[in-house]
Every structure is written in C-alpha cells, then in structure tokens.
C-alpha cells in the first residue's frame, strides 16, 4: 500500500526489512527503563556510542561498495540489533514465561493512554513527509526532511537526554507539589538556557552551515531550517510539561491534550498546504506555541502555579538574551565572505557573547554549569 501510494515499487521490499526494527527495539524497552530508573546514564551512553560506532563503520563500508539505499536499511537494523545484545548483556534481566493479570491491569490503565498519545504524535511527525512526498517533488521532500533532521538533531536529542534525567527525579517528589513546582521551573529554565541559544544560532547560521557541510546542492533547505529551528526550540518546553502530567499519573490528561493538539495541527496543515512548503514550516512553528498553550491548560489543573504566563515569564530573559545573541552574530558574520570562516566566527562570537552576559547577569544556570565543570576538574 505504501509503495503504490508513492508510486515507488522498491519501497515494498525496503519497508519489510525496516519494519523489523519495531521488533528489535521492543525487546530493548524494559532494559532501557531499568537503566533510566537507576539513573545509570553512563552505561547507556557507552552502549549508544558502541552501537553507533560499529554500525556506522559498517554503513560507511557498505556505502563505499555501492549498496545504495540498502546501506541505511542495514545500518539501522545493525544499530538496533547491537543495542539489543549489549542491553541484555548489561542488565542481565530476562523475562519469565508467566503472565500477571494484576500487573497488566495496573500498567494498562496508565500505559494505554500513553501509547495512544504516542501513536498520535508519531503519525503527526510523519504526516508532513507523507503530504509533501505526495503533492510536491522528491527534491522538495528531500530538502524538507534534511532541514527537519538538522533542526531535530539538536533539540530532540538534547531534550531526550534531559528528560531521561528529570523524569525520574520528578517521579520521586510527585506527592510534594511545592517541591515539584520548584524543580519544574528550574528544569525548564536550565533546558531553555541550553536549547534557546543553540536553536537561534542554528537559525542565524543555517546558510553557511548547510553550504559548508552539505554543499550548495542543499541550499534550498536553508529557509526551511531557519523556520524549523525556531519551531523545535520550543519542543523541550512542551515535553517537560507533558512529562509533568504523567509524573502526576494523569495519562488521561496527556491523551486528551494530545487529541486537542493534533486536531489543531491537522487544521494548520490543511490550511497551509496550498501556500507551499515554506508556509507549511511557518505552520509548524505556530503549532509549537499552540502545543504549549494546550498542555499548560492541563498542568494548571494539577499544579496551580504551572501555567503559561508564569512559564513565559520565567523563560523571557533567556529568550531575549538568545535573540540578542542571534542579532549580534548575524551582523558580525554578514561582513565575512568566506563561508567556513563565517560559520566558525559566528559560533565563537555567539558562545562568548551568551556566556559572558549570562555570567555578568549572575544567572543561576551559568553558576550551576560552572560548578559542574569545576567539580569535574577537581575529580
């Protein structure tokens, strides 16, 4: 069905093999959860690095020997297969051949709503590629997907790392509303302190970055990347709010919020399709703000101090500093003709400006990061 939808017969065989990843990753879920609960991120990092290094090396060899698209298929399968082997070996947990109705009933009531919400979100994430692949050219789809992957690489990966730490901590204090609210605002400020300047910097330096790394063939992806960088800048704030609902064991709220958000998302998509991909990207950015608004309507029901206005007030100083950093970088690099120098100088100026002003303003976030660095240095 998928192959005929895109009029690409070769997709039929490819998707059958790619689909095996669903089976491989499902066998890693419990082991990853055990390591996360015990806050053993060092072991997870070693496993991730090992699998990426080994599968990446094999992928490069396959690409060099002309395996084409099958390079990506085989590399993906190897990554998940190696992760499965290493995770099972490191945790030494093996499921028993028994079934507990009590456990299933307890977990299904909470987890089924998370599953439904997760499926809705996954469908949404792939909906744009599906629509663009159907109604626009393959080159347009390639440019959009490349811009999306670059924007997500920074935001989604850092968010994933942060939430794997914050979620277990919040679960430990889920019954202490005052402390939970305090930790939550500390987490969103710390997350924004890292993500906001990175994403605004990516937006400003999108042109030299793509031209240097991907060459001029991908230059049409630049405007998409600039808009999507601003969009995915808000992804970690949304994720932390969504996690808060689940920390309070209200997966029904997380599902209801997901349904409302995705109705808004589909409406935005349908409205923006006739105007082209650039406006569709603007629609994604608009949806990012709607996402946070809907979530905070539910978080306020559980924690009275966690609402949109207060969150924006907490994030506003970091946002303003990040925007000013972006403007400074834009002005400074506009006088540099060589792309590589423009990229390097822009990164250096952005980092120095942002960290210096953060230090002068005596923000807690920079003090926390400096304390970690000094602690690591003493060790």
- Over residues 176-235, the pLDDT tens digits come to 888 989 989 989 998 899 999 999 999 999 999 999 888 888 899 999 999 999 999 999
Q: Does residue 125 register a pLDDT over 50?
A: yes
If you average pLDDT over every residue of the chain, what do you get?
87
Share of the chain above pLDDT 70, in %: 97
Residue 107 pLDDT > 60, yes or no? yes
Least confident of 93-107, 187-201, 309-323: 93-107
Kindly tell me if the per-residue pLDDT of 144 is higher than 70.
yes
Name the more confident of 45 and 335.
335
pLDDT recorded at residue 149: 86
For residues 278-300, give the mean pLDDT: 93
How many beta carbons lie within 10 A of that of residue 202, not counting itself? 23
Segment 161-165 mean pLDDT: 79
126 has pLDDT over 50: yes
Confidence of residue 375 (pLDDT cuts 50, 70, 90): low
- Judged against a pLDDT cut of 60, whether residue 376 lies above it is answered with no
The pLDDT tens digits of the residues spanning 231-262 come to 999 999 999 999 898 888 888 888 899 999 99
Has residue 314 got a pLDDT over 80?
A: yes
pTM, two decimal places:
0.79
pLDDT recorded at residue 65: 81
Distance CA 60, CA 279 (A): 36
What does the alpha-carbon distance between residue 373 and residue 357 come to, in Å, rounded to a whole number?
A: 18
Q: Give the pLDDT score at 372.
A: 58
Q: What is the pLDDT of residues 41-55, one digit of tens each?
A: 678 778 888 888 888
Q: What is the mean pLDDT of residues 9-35?
A: 88
- Give the range among 68-77, 92-101, 235-244, 365-374 with minimum mean pLDDT: 365-374
Give tens-digit pLDDT for 54-68.
Answer: 888 888 888 888 878
Q: How confident is the model at residue 377 (pLDDT cuts 50, 70, 90)?
A: very low
* 3-class DSSP string for the chain: CHHHHHCCCCHHHHHHHHCHHHHHHHCCHHHHHHHHHCCCHHHHHHHHHHHHHHHHHHHHHHHHCCCCCHHHHHHHHHHHHHHHHHHHHHHCCCCCCCCCHHHHHHHHHHHHHHHHHHHHHHHHHHHHHHHHHHHCCHHHHHHHHHHHHHHHHHHHHHHHHHHHHHHHHHHHCCCCHHHHHHHHHHHHHHHHHHHHHHHHHHHHCHHHHHHHHCCHHHHHHHHHHHHHHHHHCCHHHHHHHHHHHHHCCCHHHHHHHHHHHHHHHHHHHHHHHHHCHHHHHHHHHHHHHHHHHHHHHHHHHHCCCCCHHHHHHHHHHHHHHHHHHHHHHHHHHCCCCCHHHHHHHHHHHHHHHHHHHHHHCCCHHHHHHHHHHHHHHHC
């Amino acid at each position: 069905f998928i192959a005929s939808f895109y009029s690409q017969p070769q997709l039929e065989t490819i998707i059958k093999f790619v689909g095996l990843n669903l089976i491989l990753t499902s066998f890693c879920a419990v082991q990853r959860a055990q390591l996360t609960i015990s806050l053993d991120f060092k072991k997870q990092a070693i496993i991730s690095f090992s699998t990426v290094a080994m599968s990446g090396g094999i992928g490069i060899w396959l690409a060099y020997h002309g395996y084409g698209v099958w390079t990506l298929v085989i590399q993906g399968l190897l990554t998940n297969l190696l992760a499965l082997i290493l995770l099972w070996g490191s945790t030494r947990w093996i499921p028993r051949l028994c079934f507990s109705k009590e456990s299933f009933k307890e977990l299904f009531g909470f987890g089924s709503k998370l599953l439904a919400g997760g499926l809705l979100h996954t469908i949404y994430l792939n909906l744009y590629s599906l629509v663009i692949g159907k109604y626009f050219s393959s080159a347009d789809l390639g440019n959009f997907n490349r811009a999306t992957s670059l924007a997500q690489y920074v935001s989604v990966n850092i968010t994933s790392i942060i939430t794997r730490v914050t979620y277990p901590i919040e679960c430990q204090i889920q019954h202490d509303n005052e402390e939970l609210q305090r930790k939550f605002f500390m987490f969103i400020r710390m997350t924004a302190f890292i993500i906001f300047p990175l994403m605004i910097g990516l937006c400003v330096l999108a042109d030299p970055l793509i031209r240097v790394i991907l060459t001029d063939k991908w230059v049409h992806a630049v405007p998409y990347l600039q808009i999507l960088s601003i969009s995915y800048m808000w992804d970690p704030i949304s994720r932390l709010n969504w996690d808060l609902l689940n920390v309070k064991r209200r997966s029904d709220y997380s599902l209801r919020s997901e349904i409302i958000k995705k109705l808004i998302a589909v409406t935005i998509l349908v409205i923006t399709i006739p105007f082209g991909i650039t406006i569709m990207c603007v629609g994604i950015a608009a949806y990012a703000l709607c996402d946070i608004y809907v979530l905070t309507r539910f978080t306020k029901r559980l924690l009275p101090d966690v609402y949109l206005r207060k969150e924006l007030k907490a994030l506003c100083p970091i946002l303003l500093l990040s925007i000013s950093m972006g403007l400074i970088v834009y002005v400074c690099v506009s006088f540099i003709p060589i792309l590589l120098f423009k990229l390097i100088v822009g990164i250096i100026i952005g980092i120095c400006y942002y960290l210096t002003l953060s230090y002068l303003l005596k923000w807690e976030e920079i003090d926390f990061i400096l304390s970690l660095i000094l602690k690591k240095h003493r060790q």
